[in-house]
Chains A and B, each alone.
Chain A
Amino acid sequence: MNFELSDEQRMLKDSLSRFLSDRYDFKARERVIREGGLDGAVWRGLGELGVFALPFPEEDGGLGGGPVEMMIVAEEMGRALVVEPWLAAIAEIAPLLVSADPAIRADLAARMADGSLRIAFAHREPQAEAERPATTFADGKLSGTKARVIHGAMADAFIVSASVDGGTGLFLVETADPGVTIRSQPTQDGRRMAEIHFDGAAARRLDQGDAETLIANAAAAALAATCAEAVGAMDAALWLTTDYLKTREQFGRPIGTFQGLQHQAADMFVALEQARSMAMYAAVMSERTGAERDAALSAAKVQINRSAKRIGQTAVQLHGGVGVTMEYAIGHYFKRLTMIELTHGDLDHHMDRLARLGGVPA
């Protein structure tokens, strides 16, 4: 076993971490959120660092990064609480394109890799849980409604899942198509999501009849990355809290001298390390297939959710009143962690899935 990062991976981590600590502090982030959730200069900068090229294969002009590289990126993004949709607009999209026509794929990958093209995955529907999408495709036109599309209103194009010939297909639709209507809404954690209505929008099929596999792969990649993002956010929340314990004084001494608080901080650290291990496990297992992969990812998400709740709630508690205000960073970490708990399957969902799949892989 080897948990060490390679030199290249370390460089990726350091350069991204430096970029974000220079450019994306709490104030800067607040401004980004006020102005709509995407800072052009930050976006270009992330592109220049190669973050967007990572998930694409080298033959398409990408950097051919694997899940460990995505984990590294995601953790830094979580640490800085980045709201820009790097995951939903790029990293989650790459797995959906693998079987597309090579020319189309190379063109999309090239433009996504430099940040000039953002695609959103319009998959979930208001009435979720159906086996096939209620959205349909026929004669080159796509119709239906998609919900909770992260950054839907900032996308240049959508990949849309739709029912076709008794199966599911993936289709490319331009945002500018007159058959597309978008309603956008802010989220609890400073992002934006949209409900998107397609009414006979012109669509081009991307998959080769393997859409369901591609969708499952994309979901696995997104879940693994989200676990790593959560670890970054938890790590930051822990150190913000310990800094606070060292500087906040009550009863004539730093509150970090109270053993009751030291133990709670130690519990946060334990929860963080357990989560970190499972985020690594998720990254590595996300490349496997079938039940083994899904069970491993569910196990990871269960741990992430437990740790996120423990760390988020304790961080707020140890900050006292400061913890519940929008004016300090800690509450924003708590909010993001809470949203991570609720999305990509909540605790009970993953516990049930684990039980169904026969438990944690040996």
Chain B
Amino acid sequence: MDLNFTPEEETFRQEIRQFIADNLPEETRRHMSQLRPPTRDMVHQWVQALASRGWSCPRWPVEYGGPGWDAVRQYIFFEEIQAAPSPDIVSFGTNMVGPVIFTFGTEAQKAHYLPKIATLEHWWCQGFSEPGAGSDLAAVRTKAVRDGDGWVIDGQKTWTTYAHRANMIFVLARTDPHAKKQEGISFFLVDMSLPGVSVRPIQTIDGDREINEVFLDNVRVPASCLVGEENKGWDYAKFLLGNERTGIARVGMTRGRLQMIEQLAAERIVDGRPLIEHARFRDRLTELQVELKALEMTVMRVLSAEQAKGKPNPATSVLKLVGADMQQRMTELYLQVAGEDAVAWPDQDGTGPNGIMGPDWADAAPAAYFNMRKVSIYGGSTEVQKNIIAKAILGL
């Protein structure tokens, strides 16, 4: 047993850190460290910087324009850029649809789509969930019907993250209404500028606009938009969902933000003393740090087991559900540091963030707390992860 990274891996980590120091604008870093959602421009600038170094698609093999890193290097990379903290790269393109295209797509699709993902010329969003198909994703009702040499797609998607920033959407649609639930679904790549695509924003309880409804109203797409085989879309969707594994714990992101919270708590005076000196707060912080260390070790164990066996491990459900819990409890601490300054709602009426009072991060704390409720809901809810552990691992 050796719990250390190799010297080469440590050198690699330094290289990433140096890149971040040279390329991540201070304004973006500050904004992200307060747990604010990145602006479109921040994402764009950062992805361009990564792309010019060949790092914007960190999970891709060299032949498709990626850096060809092994799983450990990918892990180190994500941990460092999350801890920086930088804006998330647009994972719908790089981690989700990209690998589907290079694994199941035609040569023409690879040549057309992959380079555009790397530069963010194509900004992808994920059109899986529907009003009636959430945890039960295979219940999608959006349908695609053959029409001459193409398809007509009709239906509604929902909860679509950043659909208003995207220009491409990958869609699960039913192509065989008579087949068993999972067997009649196909996977389409849809240009959002096509007639019939419209996007309606959904405001979330943090006050932000992050998610949307996407309406596909008889959208006509060419045959070249179908990925792989007709009616095999469920397999590609499973592949896609299984791809985001060890990254899902987001250890680096939680660690980085906990450090920030610790600093803020040292500056915050509560009942005459810095909050960090209050035993109860300190305990909560320490408990989180302990659990985060355990999670980090678990991530590494899952990673090395996957490297050795070459196949996904159902224990990744542990990573998802513990990672979600850590992120949420981290924002609970953030909220506690903000205290009553969190009551202000910076939206509306032109007073701007903290029009009245409080430090410049105070409005970001409740927003982060409210926003992070999502992480135990999406990407396979905590309940669904527990079902998987109970069935697939424990045999219950």
Contacts and interface: CB of A to CB of B under 8 A. Distances in A.
A195 interface: yes
A185 B202 contact: no
A185 B370 contact: no
Interface residues of B, number: 50
A185 B377 contact: no
Contact of A342 (B134, B335, B371): B335
A254 to B, nearest CB: 12
A186 to B, nearest CB: 4
A358 interface: no
B340 interface: yes
A325 B134 contact: no
B315 interface: no
B60 interface: no
A195 to B, nearest CB: 5
A351 B271 CA distance: 13
Contacts of B351: 183, 185
A129 B271 contact: yes
B151 to A, nearest CB: 27
A193 B373 contact: no
Contacts of B383: 258, 260-261
A186 B347 contact: yes
Interface stretch (A13-21, A289-297, A316-324): A316-324
A342 B342 contact: yes
A193 B344 contact: yes
A324 B370 contact: yes
Contacts of B281: 348
A175 to B, nearest CB: 18
B386 A260 contact: yes
Nearest to B390: A260
A324 B132 CA distance: 17
A261 to B, nearest CB: 7
B343 A317 contact: no
Given A313-B373, A324-B374, A342-B339, 6 more contacts: A147-B357, A148-B357, A251-B135, A252-B136, A260-B386, A349-B270
28 contacts: A147-B357, A183-B356, A184-B349, A185-B351, A186-B345, A186-B348, A187-B343, A187-B344, A188-B342, A251-B136, A251-B139, A258-B383, A316-B373, A317-B376, A317-B377, A320-B135, A320-B381, A321-B129, A323-B373, A324-B204, A324-B370, A324-B374, A325-B203, A331-B204, A331-B370, A339-B342, A339-B343, A348-B280
